[in-house]
Structures are given as structure tokens and as C-alpha cells.
Structure 1
Amino acid sequence: MLPRTSLILLLLLAFGAMTAYLVSPLGADPAKPQPTSTEPSFSRDIQPLLVKHCYSCHAGAKPKGGLALDKHKDESFIIKHKDVWDLVVQNIRGGTMPPEGKPKLTAAEIELLAGWIEKKIASVDCRGLRNPGRVTIRRLNRAEYNNTIRDLVGVQFQPADDFPADDVGYGFDNIGDVLSLPPIMLEKYLAAAERIMATAFAPTPGPAATGVQHFEGKSLETTLSDADRNGAKSLHSNGEVFANANFPKAGEYILRVRAFGQQAGNEPCKMALRYRGKDVAVLDVPNSQDRPRRFETRFQAEGGRHRVAAAFLNDYYKPDDPDPKQRDRNLIIQFLEVEGPLGEPVPNLNEIGKRLVVVQPGNGVSKREAAQQVITRFATRAYRRPVQPAEVQRLLALYDMAEQSGEPFEKGIQLALTAVLVSPHFLFKVELDRPAQRPDGSYLISEFELATRLSYFLWSSMPDDELFGLAEQGRLRKELEAQVKRMLLDPKSSALVENFAGQWLQLRSLKTIQPDPDLFPEFDEALRSAMIRETELFFQEIVKEDRSVLEFLDADYTFVNERLARHYGLRGVRGSQFRKVALSGEQRGGLLTQASILTVTSNPTRTSPVKRGKWILENILNTPPPPPPPDAGELSEDKEVVLKGSLRQRMEQHRSNPTCASCHQRMDPIGFAFENYDAIGTWRTRDGNFEIDPSGVLPSGERFANPKELKRILLARDDLFRKCLADRLLTYALGRGLESYDKCAVDDIASAVAKDGNRFGRLVLEIARSEPFQWRRGPQTP
């Protein structure tokens, strides 16, 4: 084999070119939201209210909650920091700000301040041209690399498991802005590519060549009955005789038969010689019984054990013909032979190699022509777009180097395909800039780029042949709805469960969480796995059955096996297999009461109402609290303190600290609603020696007595949840964080979902149709 120097040089040159592209203005995101002017005025009407009611806590070098509003000097900061001001509005309208002990805003001041902020945030005009944003060119993350290699090559191992862990941004590990490329990755990519192709082209041992394999007529099998005739097979109707022959290697073979016909009618017997069910020759058999003849044909065969046959094609039967010799036409086969392989033997390929080497030299096709066809097809699929002739020629140069070094045909192919796997065009999701199609400089991405966005969104992998075919024909956009439905039903959509749900719901964290074994001895690996599987199957059910996304909040079914059913106190479930079960009562229903979520949002030794409340604010309502101040302090876990009151009572004392009160007023009531579930999600009615009180009052004044009633309140705020889910899924689909100009798209997506029964399929389709998904902002857009 050629030394690695050639591939290493190719890799470094390719990455040097890609790095230059990434750091150039083309990879940057220069667009800045432009300030707009509107009445009332920030300096005259809004800033005085902020000074009066907000700056005493949220200004200076050490602002509470890390939020310094005094740094926002004019109205342009409202659009630039939409998330911050969204939170300000929520706190103002929810009554949590200003906090207890501070002068309250009057109703008129609330409308003035909150209304002005809301108007500013909405000032991105959703009726005109919208900024679709610009997705940063990024590498495939580990899951995407593994899945792409699986679908492109067919190997059964996961080469990216040896790569460094992917960085996470905006809650996901497919965000272009944070997916760095450490220097070690270059070596990892090359090692993985060599291992993948070594596996794909590993020769398989086969039996020695047998020369000629002879099958006497009496040993041949047939599709007809009563065919035996003096040691031969008589085909008295259309049918065939066949045998399973051994083909030691791929190559050229001869299929030979000795046959004669019982002639009748106005044409001779016709015979087809077949390999693996396909005709390789159709011959006339004009000779009669006194002159049997040999008939043969040459054909290309793959290595292995395959069926060969001789078939009778033109049966004729006229029993009332005056001439007895003209009444019945039959074909008689005396033997069948397979000879080969002929000429220079072709090396054995394993099943993966056979799928990659789609054309073999021979039958007028030169080695280089065959190599070009193989490389072109593979590179087109790997690059996820039509490959350019110059790109093929560069890869063919590696094949030529191997051939000039005396390497076999397959080794040259292996070298070229290895180079494809270290190309930035494979390793990165590349979208090429195009001429502007709108005054704002944006343009519609190509159909191949749309296929790639769609497949990595739903499958975390490359497009399949159907997506490629539609993109090549320019029909993918026209058939987008049908393709989304097909892709969600495909088994590969399990990647959406593993990679989107696994990160949105933080299921991946559950794999490393270790509840205290002394306090929770019943927690084991079987229970951990069952918790994760329940949530995955629940999410998958909503995806596959196109159910309402509101079932994430509350549902009357779930999925359990015996281990998890026992944990939940459900009867009648036996065995390790998961099954869908109906739920009754008020203890379980939806994500919020599943053991996976309850365990992820707990501490190793106890529940955490703060974590649970914060989790819901972030992942269900998209209203995250600010980070805690550095001096927030910790809740005492001293045994004497624990014995003096329930966790709720101790936290209420902690919350009396003004520094902590404002945020805890939003988080704690939500978290207390789930105190009936311990740190691993088991239902309970007491916290140690104290009765649990799951009731609460939200800052809005809404009251609830238990988790079921809290879920009803959340369902009444379904618009918040729809927008939250649309925000999270669009972030994941694009591979970038959302900006203020994406608000229009999120609102449109959520509105369309609400009008269509809140179906999950509609959510995915509207994201795929959205401007951020279909369009891209130009590189120099101001």
C-alpha cells in the first residue's frame, strides 16, 4: 500500500483551504439589527421607570441575578438583547418584579413599560422581507459522523466514538458556532477513514476454484413436475431447470448446457440461459433428439453461491394436429456446466466492498473508466451534492498512483475513497454562497442543500437515494410534505429521539447521574435504562403516530416494562419488554411525572424543587430565570436542620433572603408541585417525618393543589409551550442559536401547529418550510 504521506498531505491542503474559507468574511455573520424609532421615547418615558424601579438592584458592577439593565443605553439594545427584555416583560406582567419590599409599578406604568418593550421586540416586521439568518459552516458531530458512515459505507462499528466530545451550545451539540476543530481531529479523521476503508475492502476467504462444475440432468432441479426422462430433464411446458453453483471469485464464467428439442409448430425451441434469475443469453435450439448439441455463453458473475438455469420459453401444444410430430414442442436438458473463473482472477470483495465497487473492469470497460464511475458515485453521495469533474480528477490521481505502484484495482479504489472521507466536503456541512435573490442579499438554498438540512434534522445522517433523486430533479420542495411524513416514519428518525429529545429533555445526563445508594438502594442500572427507554418510547409515539405535542405536558398513557411498572406501582406488567399502558389517577401522565425527568432534576440525596422549577421554566415555558448571584448561598443539609422541617419549609426560610426571593418566587412553586416524587421519581406522601404539601401559588396569582392541577395551568398556557418547542426544534434543525429576527418564524410555526391540532408532524413540516430553514442570508448583508 502507498505510504500515508499522500493522504496526510491531501488532508492538510484540504483543511487549509477550508480554514481560509471559514475565517474569511464569507463565514462571518455581520448582520446587525437596526434601531427603529417609535413613541413613547426610551430616554423620556422608559428609562426613568427603569431608574425608579429597576436600577436599584439591576445596575452597577454587581447587579442582582447578573442582570445590569443600566448597560442598555438606548432602544437598539432591546432588539439586540431580546431574550433579556422578554424576561423583563414576563417578570413585570407576572408581578414578580419589582420584588417584595420595593415600590410597585402602577397599572399604567406596567402597560407603558411592558407594552413599549413588547412593541420594540415585535418591531421586526413580519410582513415584509425577513432575515433568514446565516448558518455557520460546521463539521459533523460524532453522532452525525457515525450515522453518515453507516449509511454511506455500511460498516457496523462507530468510528467517531474515539473522537473528542462535541461542545454544546444553546442546549445542543450540533451548533456550528461551538463545534470547534482541535488539531487532534485531523489525525482522528485520517485514522477513522483508513480503518473504515480497510474494513470495507477486507478480502473474504473463499473456496478454491473448481474449474468446471458439472450437473447431470437427473440431478438438476426444475420448476415443473414429472420432468425426468432417461437421465435428462424434459421441460414439457414453459419452465426451467436449475442448480446452485459455486463462484469462487468475481469474474468471467461460461454457462454451458447440452440440449435438444422435440420440435413442433412453425419455430424451433427457444432456451434462455440464466444467472441469478436474469437472462444472460436467449438461444434457438433447432436440433432434435438424434443430434443433441452444446450451447454456451460467457457472463460476469460475483463471487459466492448463485443459481444458474436453462429455461424453456416457447411451449407449443396442439393435440388435434393431423401430424403427430407437430402436436407438442418440448425442450430436453441433458446436463448443465459452469466453467470459470476465466482469465486473470479478480480479488474477492466482502459484501461492503461489493456495494461500493459498483463497476468492475471488463466487457469493454477499462480499469480507469471503472474507477472513475466508482469514485464519482461515492464522492457524490459523500459530498451530498453533484461532484465536479475537477474533484473527480484529483481523486483519480490517487488511483493512478496506486496503479503505477503495482497495486490491484481494488487497492487504488480504496485509497481514493479514503481521501473522500478526509475531505472537508464530507466532514463539513458546506453551503455555497449564491447571488442574492432578494434586496436583503438572501437567497434560496439549493435542493441538494435542502435535502442535507432535512436529513440531518430528522435522521442525523446523509440524504438517502430518494432525497438525492428528488433534489437532482428539482422536485424536493414540491414534495416536501410527503418527504417529511416518509422520513418521520423511517426507522432512522430514531435519531430525532436520541439526539433532539435526549438533549432537550436532558436524558443524556441520566446516564451518568448517581443517586445516593444508601438512600435509594432500589436504583440500579436496570431502572436507569428503563427510565430512559420510557421517555424515548413516549417521544417516539408522538412522532410516529403524529400525536398532539400537548401530550408532552399530560397524557393518559406511557410505556413501561416490569421493572419500571413496579417502580410506579402499576400492576399486571410482566417481563422486560416495554408495552404501552393506559394511566388512570393523578400520579402519572406526560413528561413532567416520568422518572427520567424527575431524577435528572434532583440531587443525589434529595429532590430539588429549584432544579425542577427551573427545568420547566427553561424547557417547557422558555422563560428561564437568570443565573443565581455568587452570594446566593446553599441550603443547609445539616441533620439537625433537616429534622426541624420538610424541604419545603427549609426552602421557604431560605427564600426569605431578598437576594434570592425574586427568582425563587417563579421557580419554587412549580418545583414544590412535584414534591410527591422523590429523587428517583417514586411517589410518596411524606418527606421524612413531615406531610408533603404540593400546593402553590404562581406569581400570576393562579393556584394549584397538586401536580395534576399545575399541568392544567400549563396546558392553559399552551401557546407558551408551542413556542418553546418550536424554538428548541428550530434551533436543533438549523444548528444555530435563534436571534430576535427569528421570532416571526417561531410565531408562524407555533400558530400553524395550533391550527392543525398541535400535531408533531405539522411542527416538523412548518420548520422545514420556514424561511430560516429554506433561505440563507448573504455573506455581506449589512
Structure 2
Amino acid sequence: MMLTTRMSRILAAALAYTLAIMPARAQDPAEAPPEPIQALFTKYCLSCHQGEKSEGGVDLVKLMAKGPPASNRKPWNRVKENVEGGTMPPEDHPQPPEDLVNALASWVDAEMKKLDCGVAVDPGRVTIRRLNRAEYNNTIRDLTGVDFEPAEDFPSDDVGYGFDNIGDVLSLPPILMEKYLAAAETIAARAIVAGGASTLPTKTYEGPDLDDSGGVSAQDDGRLLGTNGEIVVAHAFPRDASYVVRVRAFAQQAGDAPARMAVKIDGKPLRSFDVKAVEGQPGTYEVEQKLRGGRRRIAAEFLNDYWEPGNPDPAKRDRNLIVQSIEIEGPQDVAGAPLPPSHKLVVFRTPTKPEEFFDATTEVLERFLRRAYRRPVTGGEVAKLVRLAELARENGESYEQGIQLAVQAVLASPQFLFRVELYRPKRDAKGKPIASPGGTPLNDFEVASRLSYFLWSSMPDDELSKLALDGKLHDEAVLEEQVRRMIRDPKSQAFVENFAGQWLQLRNLKSVNPDPEQFKTFDEPLREAMQKESELFFASVLRDGRSLLDFIDCDYTFLNERLADHYGVPGVKGPEFRKVKLEGGERGGLITQASVLTVTSNPSRTSPVKRGKWVLEQILGTPPPPAPPEVPQLADDSNGPLVGTLRQRMEQHRSNPSCASCHARLDPPGFGLENYDAVGAWRDKDGGLPIDASAQLPSGESFQGPAELKKILKGRKAEFVRCLGEKMLTYALGRGLEDPDACTVEDLVKTVSADQYRLSRMVLEIVKSDPFLKRGG
């Protein structure tokens, strides 16, 4: 209940004392919260939110001591949102009158605008960034011409601020360094045909490599197939060539025939074998085949399971196949065969006589090193690599093997594995750094790298590198021309997959497994079609100069026959995707796409909470606070203590005061999407009862169904542009945003709004912004 008069006076005195002893900057009356705000905090907040035991870790007295909202934006904004949205104080506590709530909101909004963007603003600094897995794969592809995704074997990258390219969380554990060393050797062997090599490139899948390949674990580290089935591994073949596939296996024999095994590539049998080998004496079964380059599935299939439980001899009752390893050797380069493009890309000059060795090696390695380090290199750096190649020659290795050794050294170097940006402050006559409040410009090579890893998740191409060498990448016209070129380039698909994939949480789609009994139509082709729709949609808005408000609602999407049938859209035939005009208000925009609806559902039912949270976080930029740990979870089915439709059960769940305040914000957007089931198909009933898709937002706006919800969201243009701008700027910079970045975000809101809300304009303005082109100390 409301604080007693005596307690209010005590808290008011405590607050006044605290404000009086604040640091000199906070004593400025213009910066201290006005009287109505202090009154609101004293009467309705400080009993729970001050001191060491402040609830939720929110100490309002400390917050005020840190300064006004303009210099401490995020926590003040959260206070405003919680009070204005009715989340705080909780429903079972006295509520402040509307005039005090409005006074708080008006004061915070006004203070937020006081950030002086006219003075030099610190552009921030980025922790040195390791290449993440996607960046490593793409960089290897563009650097060597070998496209086989070596980083698939690396540990997963940590995520910060919603993205996996954040410098603060991209650590380098010892196991990853081991993977880098192994990958460097494999990449060099696959990129360069080494004349005189005594061994062929070989990859063996065994032990932990087979953990997820099928079957069950066998005592000897192999995989046991107790019924007909397959042990499958995915292998990246570097180019078109002949390869040898070897399967090491034995069988537990039973019946009149030996175990039978087929070796298959992408489901196509290459050869079958009688496996007569027994435990302790495994056999090797080999196939040589000409294969096309690319990632392929290699399988050892058990063909003739046998089970006779009544046989008097226990050793003859059960026939099983045990696969110990699968080995791929190759490519088997034949003398006289044309060299692959990767070899020509790296080893573009070969000495024809001994005296040409030094010049040829220097020329080849200087170019490779410059491209790998993404900057000009010194003669000393090149000389060290040339010496490695010379050592290989002195030990009887071929010229190509020497280049392979130098390439391995480069690919394990921090200058390759990290995106290095140096701080270069101006210095006085004594060499001391001169303070530079507005930061210092990045050099052109660092700008080229920021551009290429932002839009391509890869290294700069030759055109960007040439512009950097000519010192032209701080020219706004040149930057704009390059951004438009890079967006048109197919490599910008990486931006779609890595930015949009994480913003929209599409990456989670591969791990979602809807209940097969309830959703019988859900299969892998449908899952792939869901993801493809959202990627094509995002790419179209980006490349076709469309408004980012299309993300909220529009009258088109991209469908193939499989997804069109799922949506109930007629007239779409065939597996190819095409742009389709939508009729009615059931579909249109991201929140009605099956990918988003599926990743925000539970396996057996929809989740208005997850969907509402997604809208708040990804569209409006107002994430809710974490749920209290003691709040019980709602049962996934209707067999629990709560009954009725999912919405009715949630209403009963919300009757718990500890649940109600958060759900008042979370549930309404989710309720508006209840017409879509857990895999995004339209429905009118839930459990035989009519769907109620109406709700009221904390702002007081009411709606009925997804079309009206989208109309409300589309009206909040500035909030959505700000939300998307913050996320894209975070991704572009590789760091979390700080208070000074608010100036850049507000500029984005203005410029994007003035250019018909084009998504491409947001990309352009980020690239031209100070935080992108400069760095702080």
C-alpha cells in the first residue's frame, strides 16, 4: 500500500540529502530531477529501489547521482518505459497519478534531446575483432579461391548485443587456435597443387567426428548400426577431381550371409561390399570416384540387418555393422591435368630456372600477404615468408610446397585472424598524444575492411583495395558509389544471412522442431522455404531501394509452391521462388511470415509471450525486463491446471500479480498473432474454440487481429527506424552502442525518414557516420 506520511517524509529527507552530496556536476539544479519527479520516486518507488537490496538491481538514488538522462540514456529510458507502460510500480502497489507519470515521461524525453550533437562526439573504440566463423569462411574463399567452409569445425562464436561479430565476446580459446593451425594446413593443401608432394591431402572422420553421424556409440570408438541405416559425414571437396573414399569397418555376423555395406555420395550408391571383417580385425573398403567440388554427404549404409532372437547360439542371433572411420583422400591430381583456379590465384608465377626463385617467391608472397593482412606490408614481413619457402627448398621440397608452408604461416597469424585497427593520435613536439575529442580517422585500408566485413562478411576486393591505396575512401561520393556497388554484388547475401539472420532470429529456425503429431505438414522443404522467403524479402527491400516500413506491412512476398500451399495462396506452381502479390490482410510484412512465427513458438503450441517479446525487441526496440525466476511456466498443452484456449489459459496465468505487470506489455502483440499456429499457418480456432486476436497495448491503442496490429506498428515509424538503426549500427561497428552514439542514431532517423524510409539509405548513412569512419582512444 501507499507509504505512510511519516515514511514518505523520511524518504524525502534521505533523497534530499543524497542529492545534496552528489558530485558537483549533478548538483546543478538544471540537471537534478524536478520536484514532481522526486515526489513520484519518494512516494511510489524508493521503498523498493534504493540501497544494496534494490529490487531488480535498480537503485534510483544512484541513478540520479550518475547524472541526467542525456548522459545516462539507457537506464533512464528503461525507468520511463516501465512507469509509462504501467509495468512499475507493480499492480499490487499504489499507482502514481497520471500527471506525475506524464511529468516523468516529458522530463526524460526533453532531457534526452539535450545531448549536444553539435560538438565533437567521441566515436567510440572497438575491441580488436577476431574473424568469426562466417567471416573466416568467406575470407578464405576470396583469398584462396577455395570454397569449402573450413570454419564448420570451429567452436561456435559467442554472441553479444544480438550479434556474433562483437569484439568484446570474440575470444580465442586454445582449442580454436588448434583448429586454426589444422585449417591452415588443409587450406594450403587444397588451394595449391604441390608438385613433388609425397602424400595426398587426406581427411579422416573418426572418434568425436562421428558423434552425430548416425548409429550408436561402439566400444571401440566407432559407430554401431543395429538396424539398416547409415553413418553419414559431410565433406567439402575442394574441386572437381578424383577422390578415394575409404571406410574402415567390421561386422558382428549372424545368419547365412555376411554383412553388406554400400558406400554412397549424396544418396547415390558407388559400390557395395561384403563386410567379412570381424571385431579386432577391421577391414578397409575403398572406392575411387571422380567427383564435383563442393560440400557432399558421404555415407556407409548397412544393407542387410538380421535378427533371430530364438537362435540357440547367442553369437548368431544379431547381425550388426560397426564403422570405425571414413577417410577421403584427394584430390588425386594427375600429371598434365589443368591447375585449379585456386592455384592460379595464389601461385600466379612459377620460376622456370633456379635464379628466378627469389623474385618469383617474393612476388607471389607479397601479393598474398597484402591481401591476407588487408593492408600494405613491409619488406621485412615478406622476407620472413620468403625465408620459410627457402627452408622448404633446402629440405628437398618443391617450389609449391614452399609456398604452401608460407601460406600456412600467414593463415595462423594474428594479422590475418584479427581485424586490426590502430589508434593514431596527433602528437605534440615532445611526442605526447594530443587530445582529440572527436576521435581520429581510420586509415583507408581500415575503412575498406569495415566496409567489406559490414556488407560482405569478407575481405576487401581489388576495387576497394585500389581505392584505399589511392586514399579515396573518405570521400563521401566514393563511399556512396561503393556501397551501392557492394549491395548489388552477390556477396551481399552475407549481409542478408548474417545481419538479417540474427536480427530476425532466422538462424534459430534450423533448430526448431515442431511436434510432428500436431504439425504433420512440417518438413525440411517447408523449413527451407520459410527461411528463403524471409531472406529474399529482406534482400529485395535492400537492393530494390524499398522502404524499410515494408518490414512491418506490405502487399507482396516471395513464395514457391510449397510455401504458397502452406499459406493458402493459390496460383503458385513449382519449386522456384517468385514475387507474389498478396490479397487481404492475413499476410504481409515480417511478423506474418512463417519463419518468424515458427521461431517464436513452442514445439506444440504458439507462444504469445515469445511473439510479443519479439515485436518489442526487434520492431519497437523496447525489450521487456527478464521474467522473475519464481514465476511458473505455462504448461505446453491444455492438460494442465488451466483450461480453455491458449489465450484463456494465459489470462488465468496473468491473474498472478507477479506475472501481470510484464505480461501487460508482452501479451498484446502476441495475442494479435494468435490466428497463426506454431508453424505459421492461418487458423480460426484453437482447440475447437474461436480465436480472440484482439488486445489493447499499454498505450491504450486497441486492435482486432494482425492487420490492425500492423497498422498500429507501422504508425510508429520513428521507433522502428530507431530500433533498426541501433541494431544495424551495432552490427556495423562490432560493439555495443554508447551514449554518444545516440547522435548518430538520431541522424539516422532523420535522414532515413527524409528519403522515403529506404533501407539502402540507412546503410549509406551508417557508412558515412563518424563512428564508422573514426575511432576514439
| Superposed displacement of residue 519, structure 1 | 1.2
- State the AA in 1 paired with 2:521: E
Residue 563 in structure 1 maps to residue 577 in structure 2: no
The match for 1:530 is 529
Q: How does 1:478-489 map to 2 (within 5 A)?
A: 478=475, 479-489=478-488
Distance 1:162 1:95 in 2: 48
The match for 2:762 is 763
- State the AA in 2 paired with 1:477: H
On the 8 A contact 1:203/1:347 being kept in 2, the answer is: no
Q: Out of 54-63 and 363-372, give the one that drifted further.
A: 54-63
The match for 2:244 is none
| Superposed displacement of residue 93, structure 1 | 3.3
The match for 1:451 is 448
The match for 1:409 is 399
- CA deviations over 1:482-541 (Å, ceiling 9, x no partner): 000000000000001110111110011110111111111111111111111111111111
| Superposed displacement of residue 77, structure 1 | 7.8
Q: How does 1:1-16 map to 2 (within 5 A)?
A: none
Q: How does 1:57-456 map to 2 (within 5 A)?
A: 57-58=48-49, 67-69=58-60, 71-72=62-63, 74-76=65-67, 78=69, 82-203=73-194, 349-362=339-352, 366-436=356-426, 439-440=436-437, 442-456=439-453
What SS does the aligned partner of 1:587 have?
coil
Is there any run of 5+ residues in structure 2 with no aligned partner, and where? 1-24, 197-334, 427-433
Q: Out of 464-473 and 736-745, give the one that drifted further.
A: 736-745
- State the AA in 2 paired with 1:52: K
Residue 513 in structure 1 maps to residue 512 in structure 2: yes
The match for 1:305 is none
Pair 562,628 (structure 1): closer, same or farther in 2 beyond 3 Å: same
Residue 631 in structure 1 maps to residue 630 in structure 2: yes
| Superposed displacement of residue 190, structure 1 | 1.0
What SS does the aligned partner of 2:674 have?
coil
| Superposed displacement of residue 351, structure 1 | 3.1
On the 8 A contact 2:36/2:100 being kept in 1, the answer is: no
Distance 1:636 1:353 in 2: 58
The match for 2:203 is none
Pair 640,495 (structure 1): closer, same or farther in 2 beyond 3 Å: closer
- CA deviations over 1:457-486 (Å, ceiling 9, x no partner): 000000000000001001122200000000
On the 8 A contact 1:132/1:742 being kept in 2, the answer is: yes
| Superposed displacement of residue 120, structure 1 | 4.2
- State the AA in 1 paired with 2:442: I
On the 8 A contact 2:555/2:588 being kept in 1, the answer is: yes
What SS does the aligned partner of 1:352 have?
helix
Pair 615,398 (structure 1): closer, same or farther in 2 beyond 3 Å: same
Pair 418,637 (structure 1): closer, same or farther in 2 beyond 3 Å: closer
Pair 69,611 (structure 1): closer, same or farther in 2 beyond 3 Å: farther
Distance 1:402 1:203 in 2: 12
On the 8 A contact 1:96/1:699 being kept in 2, the answer is: no
- CA deviations over 1:53-79 (Å, ceiling 9, x no partner): 223454567766564545535133856
Is there any run of 5+ residues in structure 1 with no aligned partner, and where? 1-33, 206-344
Q: Out of 400-409 and 532-541, give the one that drifted further.
A: 400-409
The match for 1:754 is 753
Distance 1:154 1:720 in 2: 43
- TM-score (normalised: structure 2): 0.74
- State the AA in 2 paired with 1:464: D
Distance 1:360 1:117 in 2: 68
- CA deviations over 1:437-470 (Å, ceiling 9, x no partner): 8632720001100000000000000000000000
- State the AA in 2 paired with 1:395: L
| Superposed displacement of residue 410, structure 1 | 1.9
Distance 2:154 2:70 in 1: 39
Which structure is larger by alpha-carbon Rg, 1 or 2? 1
What SS does the aligned partner of 1:72 have?
helix
- State the AA in 1 paired with 2:461: D
What SS does the aligned partner of 1:682 have?
coil
- State the AA in 2 paired with 1:481: E
Q: How does 1:579-590 map to 2 (within 5 A)?
A: 579-590=578-589
Distance 1:527 1:508 in 2: 15
- CA deviations over 1:295-331 (Å, ceiling 9, x no partner): xxxxxxxxxxxxxxxxxxxxxxxxxxxxxxxxxxxxx
- State the AA in 1 paired with 2:176: M
Taking only aligned residues, the RMSD between alpha carbons, in angstroms, comes to 2.4
Pair 595,358 (structure 1): closer, same or farther in 2 beyond 3 Å: same
- State the AA in 2 paired with 1:598: L
- CA deviations over 1:102-157 (Å, ceiling 9, x no partner): 44334542344333333444443211111101011011000000000000000121
What SS does the aligned partner of 1:177 have?
helix
Pair 80,164 (structure 1): closer, same or farther in 2 beyond 3 Å: farther
The match for 2:550 is 551
Distance 1:608 1:656 in 2: 18
- TM-score (normalised: structure 1): 0.74
On the 8 A contact 1:203/1:349 being kept in 2, the answer is: no
- State the AA in 2 paired with 1:443: T
Pair 429,175 (structure 1): closer, same or farther in 2 beyond 3 Å: same
The match for 2:698 is 699
- CA deviations over 1:330-353 (Å, ceiling 9, x no partner): xxxxxxxxxxxxxxx999854322
Identity of aligned residues (%): 56
Pair 36,136 (structure 1): closer, same or farther in 2 beyond 3 Å: farther
Distance 2:609 2:336 in 1: 68
Distance 1:432 1:654 in 2: 54
On the 8 A contact 1:203/1:350 being kept in 2, the answer is: no
| Superposed displacement of residue 160, structure 1 | 0.8
What SS does the aligned partner of 1:558 have?
strand
On the 8 A contact 1:694/1:706 being kept in 2, the answer is: yes
What SS does the aligned partner of 2:574 have?
coil
- State the AA in 2 paired with 1:402: A
Pair 423,346 (structure 1): closer, same or farther in 2 beyond 3 Å: farther
What SS does the aligned partner of 1:607 have?
coil
| Superposed displacement of residue 361, structure 1 | 2.5
- State the AA in 2 paired with 1:689: G
On the 8 A contact 2:604/2:636 being kept in 1, the answer is: no
- CA deviations over 1:173-204 (Å, ceiling 9, x no partner): 00000011101122111111111111122258
Distance 2:642 2:163 in 1: 41
| Superposed displacement of residue 48, structure 1 | 4.3
- CA deviations over 1:640-691 (Å, ceiling 9, x no partner): 5578321111111211222121111111111100000011111011111221
Higher relative contact order (CA 8 A, sep 6+): 1
What SS does the aligned partner of 1:740 have?
coil
The match for 1:320 is none
What SS does the aligned partner of 1:581 have?
strand
Pair 152,515 (structure 1): closer, same or farther in 2 beyond 3 Å: same
Distance 2:474 2:725 in 1: 21
On the 8 A contact 2:192/2:347 being kept in 1, the answer is: no
Pair 204,589 (structure 1): closer, same or farther in 2 beyond 3 Å: farther
Q: Which runs of 4+ in 1 moved over 6 A?
A: 345-348
- State the AA in 2 paired with 1:168: V
On the 8 A contact 1:43/1:74 being kept in 2, the answer is: no
| Superposed displacement of residue 44, structure 1 | 6.5
| Superposed displacement of residue 694, structure 1 | 0.6
